[in-house]
Structure 1
Amino acid sequence: MSLLKLQNGSDVRGIAVAGVPGEEVNLTPEAVSKIAYAFKAWLKNKFGKEELSLAIGRDSRISGETLVQAAIKGMKGQNTTIFNCEMASTPAMFMSTLDDEINADGAIMITASHLPFNRNGLKFFTKDGGADSKDIKAILDIAETQNPQYEDNGRVEKFDFISKYAEALVNKIKESTGEDKPFENCKIIVDAGNGAGGFFAEKVLQPLGADTEGSLYLNPDGNFPNHQPNPENQEAMDAICKGVLDSNADLGIIFDTDVDRAAVVDRNGKSINRNALIALMSAIVLKDSPNSTIVTDSVTSVGLKKFIESKGGKHHRFMRGYKNVINEAIRLNKEGTEAHLAIETSGHCALKENYFLDDGAYLVTKVLILFAELRKEGKDLEDLIGSLEEPVESIEVRGKINDQDFKAYGNQVLEDFRDYMNTVEGWSAETPNYEGVRVNCEKEEGWCLVRLSLHDPVMVINIESNLSDGCEKIKKKLFDFLSKYKALSFV
């Protein structure tokens, strides 16, 4: 199999563990050694240097340690120092490139985010940030064409970097609140979903005085026996909401597997994620940076746009894909438009003040600083976002495109839908729009977005409405149109 098939946008991802019917292992230790060897060669070429400092970490996946050792095999060499950070978070591995002790030229995180236990992958970082899709393509091209000459020398050192990373978060909260223990007499619980985020309870919250009893699934377990570690997963959100109520906590925090995404829950057990989380982070950013543009993905609500504008900000609704959102914010800043926040409804949140790194722990740190301020005033997080208009209904429908050239087929459907949309009374195109076809549906008091998945042969439909039956009415009109496309199958 060509290693190029392991590219998934700006990551490398594959099947690392056998046992799931129909899913054959393709991310083998041999493949990882070749890719890590290629990453080292790519770094040498990029920086024009022979001596390299490299860092590697992993989440809790059962294949993680094996793949770490495979990557170390690929990166070893006479002029190479490798820091094995063991259990870590994806954002921490980027920070290893800026750390004055490790000062890594490049870093690898072994993770497949929230995907099932049998999957794994690699994310790559330099001091410039995360590798983008063209970088991944270049690395895999090297892996395909070079004949690795592995060296069994050089320095390999274990380094507890997650503790150092956590200490920096603790210090930020102390400095921002002016208190050593701002969460004394306060219960804050964490749901790590058996991923890598359990450190946050012990190494961040407890040193700040918080009672974390009642936290859920802090122990790393790559089988993920309790629920998917994913703030977008309803079962996961139900677990942390119930945990807050059961333990009478003041705040709940949930992370995905590798801690680059997060969401929170208020003391009433109400989740603050998706549009509500974007509203909360927008309010935080706009307090310090009035008039900032807030860059989001394409599925954010009309109510969120109103909320951001009511706080003095500008809403720039862009495309799905956390790298797309981040890169758009970076582009705007370069062109002179102040944009301090890039955030997806998935929980990926990147701030200009934090290198535009999508960091779930840093997101939560900003929320905790606000939480401490509001607590002194006898207020809660909900008080800050109470004016956010939430839709009465929202649904997502996904359909498979059963055509060999699925992108061409999907794009033709979108072109035809633009024409159809103009024939429906009360429907009009949203402008500007950067992904798929987004339609304002006046009679149904809502909107719909028809778009293609970023990487898969899938057509995605998002619908929101302020009427109790509005989504179904919009959906019926959509499927009156879509039913004629025989290569489209919706479950």
Structure 2
Amino acid sequence: MSEEQAMLALQNGSDIRGIAIATPEQAATLTIERTKKIGQAFVAWLQRRVPGKELKIAIGMDSRISGQDLKQALFDGMAPADVTIIDCGMATTPAMFMATLYDDFCVDGSIMITASHLPYQYNGLKFFTAAGGAEHDDIEEILAMTNLLREASGNKAQIVEKDLLTVYAADLVEKIRAGIDEGFEPLKGQHIVVDAGNGAGGFFVEKVLEPLGATTTGSQFLDPDGTFPNHESNPDNKEAMQALKNAVLTNKADLGIIFDTDVDRSALVDANGQALNRNNLIALISAVLLKENPGATIVTNSATSQHVEDFIVGLGGKQDRYLTGYRNVINRAIELDAELAIETSGHAALKENYYLDDGAYLVAKLLMANTDLPALIKGLKQPEETMEYRFVIVEEPIQQNGPTVITDFKAYLNKQEGIRVITDHLEGVRADFDEGWFIVRMSLHEPLLVWTLESDKAGALAPLVERLMPFFMEQNCLDRQNIIKK
């Protein structure tokens, strides 16, 4: 692979992601030198959009151990340009967008150094302007520019340090106070524990919940640690949700909150230990928004339960199932003027909050509801069983072999008795059977096929999997010896 191809291969949808720390199994791909070139290219990209302006650029990072080196590489790449760089230190992805709007920052562009919940050796870059997050085409353009720009020298850039998280947290506090309108400490008397997963979300305890009067004893893993020693920093992970459940029950808390590493995703656990993530979270925030906005549209990714659609429709709303990927659902929500774009992974972008996928604002909005949250989703039917299988695609070209398997699987299903393929589904293949439904789709971030199944009858999934698994075992492009079951 040429250097030009290697650089372009860092694109991951509307982000940049790669291996920042080499391991015995993986060579580094998001290297210091490549990151330096990306910093230079981002400046040139912004200059095309605001020609003649003295640029201000903010840079922040999550807790990953490679973050400091990558930040310095961005500084070095921008150094020859006449720009002001605001070093935000530890930050969150939504806060980095807000840096384009806050009066004290008002930057032309910002970069968040993060790879979300991925293992410690990964890192990545997310880009923002005041118009929102970078699109797929923007990332493609920035990476292409790295191969066209000549290396520059000089040290014109000015670097200043500013505490963005404190400003962002204060903004959340004011919004929650205004939303509840019950005094300076509207959460007084509530016991809320936070699990930050050793990412960037620990600030939420000291800078948001405690100023609002909440008791936060029992909160855990608040200190940033890019080795993630306790559990995966991921609200979509069963072990992480179990850790939060244990903290809630042990401390007899009223509510538990969990964030991913860069705080663009979140989930909850109620006082009884019920997980309010995935489909439950979609239903919960939909119930809040539909009460405020009767008849509103909720855009979700493709892998949501049929029960979620029934719940939303039952409240007078509309569900629009769309393509997986937070930029995909956000752009769809903007197109439809929907109140919410949300994925089962926990990405949630509210119209009232700039269509920004912001895990902290999602929690703030639910706190503003000032009600018994579990009661809001009593009408949501729960499946008896769920399963998920992940098949690693081991043969190149990944982006051709994966869809080919899906196309062949669709043809295979059309010959199966009792299985009804949904013809107008936009992503992968989705099918119903008498007791439930399933979907097979390409993973957005990894070389995987993801098979998600749900049933309303206990014991129905095992025979279905036994019946359909032979298809996957015949696909030479898949790793059939190491099937991941979640």
Question: Which TM-score band applies after superposition, normalised by the shorter structure?
Answer: over 0.9
Q: How does 1:36-435 map to 2 (within 5 A)?
A: 36-77=39-80, 79-178=82-181, 179-333=183-337, 339-370=338-369, 373-374=370-371, 380-435=372-427
Residues 300 and 322 of structure 2 are in contact (CA less than 8 Å); yes or no, is this contact kept in structure 1?
yes
SS in 2 for 1:489: coil
Query: In the TM superposition, what is the alpha-carbon distance from 1:483 to its structure 2 partner?
Result: 3.4
C-alpha spacing 1:416/1:64, structure 2 compared with 1 (3 Å): closer
Question: How far apart, in 2, do the equivalents of 1:151 and 1:172 lie?
Answer: 43
- Percent of pairs identical after alignment? 51
* Structure 2: segments with no counterpart, 5+ residues: none
Instruction: Assess, with a 3 A threshold, how the Cα gap between structure 1 residues 464 and 98 changes in structure 2: closer, same or farther.
Output: same
Write the letter of the residue equivalent to 1:132. Answer: E
Shift of 1:282: 0.4
Structure 1 contact 34–143 (Cα < 8 Å) conserved = yes
Structure 1 residues 175 and 111, CA gap change in structure 2 (3 angstroms)? same
Which residue in the other structure is 1:377 paired with?
Answer: none
Q: 1:220 to 1:408 in 2, by over 3 A?
A: closer
Kept after mapping to 2: 8 A contact 1:50/1:79: no
Q: Give me the whole-angstrom Cα distance separating, in 1, the residues matched to 2:441 and 2:87.
A: 41
Instruction: Tell me the secondary structure at the aligned position of residue 380 of structure 2.
Output: coil
1:229 CA displacement: 0.7
Cα deviation, residue 473, structure 1: 2.4
Corresponding residue number in structure 2 for 1:476: 466
- Deviation string, structure 1 residues 344-383 (Cα, Å, up to 9, x no partner): 000000011111110000000011112xx22xxxxx2111
Q: Which one-letter code corresponds to 2:469 in the other structure?
A: F
Q: TM-score, structure 2 length as denominator?
A: 0.95
* Native 8 Å contact 2:78 2:157 kept in 1: no
Q: CA RMSD in A?
A: 1.5
Q: Any idea what SS the aligned residue of 2:210 has?
A: helix
Is the contact made by 1:62 and 1:117 (CA closer than 8 Å) also made in structure 2? yes
* Equivalent residue letter for 1:297: N
User: 3-state DSSP class of the match of 1:190?
Assistant: strand
Match of 1:438 among 430, 441, 450: 430
Counterpart CA distance in 1 for 2:119 and 2:393 is 23
1:321-347 CA distances to partner (integer Å, 9 max, x unpaired)? 1111111111222xxxxx110000000
Aligned residue number for residue 447 of structure 1: 437
Cα separation, 2, equivalents of 1:460 and 1:186: 39
Describe the SS at the equivalent of 1:145. coil
| Distance of 1:296 and 1:154 partners within structure 2 | 42
Task: Report the counterpart of residue 487 of structure 1 in structure 2.
Answer: 477
Residue segments in structure 1 that go unaligned for 5+ positions in a row: 334-338, 375-379
Is the contact made by 2:60 and 2:89 (CA closer than 8 Å) also made in structure 1?
yes
Task: Answer with 49-58 or 204-213: which moved more.
Answer: 49-58
1:92 aligned partner, one-letter code: A
Q: Is the 8 A contact 1:76 1:82 kept in 2?
A: no
Deviation of the 1:78 alpha carbon: 5.7
How many residue pairs are counted as aligned between the two chains?
A: 476
SS in 1 for 2:187: coil
Q: Measure the CA separation in 1 of the matches of 2:21 and 2:214.
A: 38
